[in-house]
Structure 1
């Protein structure tokens, strides 16, 4: 006579949940986490309540589907909302201010960026002023290899005094 294996179904539910959690650690998309929760809540839960094997499978599937379509989208939205794309390295240089450290001759010179780095520089194609002296402010418009493309910074105009204010 064969033993009744349904009394060991709880082991199968735990192993299945453990396998789903391991796969989730590799994928990080919350899909297998929802399947693991469905296995534990639905399958193991119905087993603890004394339900038959087919009801355990149906409950595990139902709980997994509910979690997949309700909780998973909320988790993904929260995860992606907090990971804003921040430019770094060379991608962060355009728009950064700089000061000329070597006079521009024939459109080429040297600048010290506001982040402290010193770069060889070239005037941007649309720049009208080709005579930048040491100390002049420029703005990085692009990076071409190891050369920063710069344009003269717009000089802020001081606010004019209105005689009616006096």
Structure 2
């Protein structure tokens, strides 16, 4: 059997193995095996093919794999649960001040308090959710870019973000 055929079979077997591990190591070896197949097709000696396989494997594993992992292991961009409520707009149902009030948020009634605490929000006003403190929404006046508030980082779409979708 010709060397290039053996290299292609090895590359295929490594790719099948990668499907089971999903660790991005075997795919680097598979790509290196394809380099070996290319050299074999060009008539290179077996020692040259093996050295090229080793160097390419090491280079891809050390150079390309970390970059690929970074791009493939990012968390989901879709916020869910209460995290999705941060940055959303709400309607004031009962007067909201620095200690108490009620807002309609995502179709549900939530306890709320204003930020800054000296701000008083009257019934019917539109407010933005800055963060959630347990079962209480911390809200501010309906501004395009609500002010930053201390506490857990709200993430994209929160304070200073683009705001809720229209």
| TM-score, normalization by structure 1 | 0.58
> Which structure shows the bigger proportion of residues in helix conformation?
1
Identify if the C-alpha distance between structure 1 residues 48 and 152 changes in structure 2 by more than 3 Å, giving closer, same or farther: closer
State the shift of 1:143 in Å. 0.9
Matching residue within 120, 123, 134 for 2:110: 120
Name the SS of the counterpart of 1:138 in structure 2.
strand
User: Any unmatched runs of 5+ in structure 2?
Assistant: 144-166
User: How far did residue 100 of structure 1 move?
Assistant: 0.7
RMSD: 3.9
User: What is the aligned residue count?
Assistant: 141
Larger mean Cα displacement after TM superposition, 10-19 or 102-111: 102-111
**Residue in 1 that maps onto 2:125:** 136
User: Normalization by structure 2: what TM-score?
Assistant: 0.58
Matched, 1:148 2:137: yes
Relative distance call for 1:153 and 1:40 in structure 2 (3 A) is closer
Partner residue, 2:87:
95
Instruction: State the 1:128 CA deviation.
Output: 1.4
Give runs of aligned pairs for residues 103-114 of structure 1, distance below 5 A: 103-104=95-96, 107-113=99-105
Q: CA deviation at 1:99?
A: 1.4
Distance 1:13 1:35 in 2: 11
Offset at residue 109 of structure 1 (A): 3.1
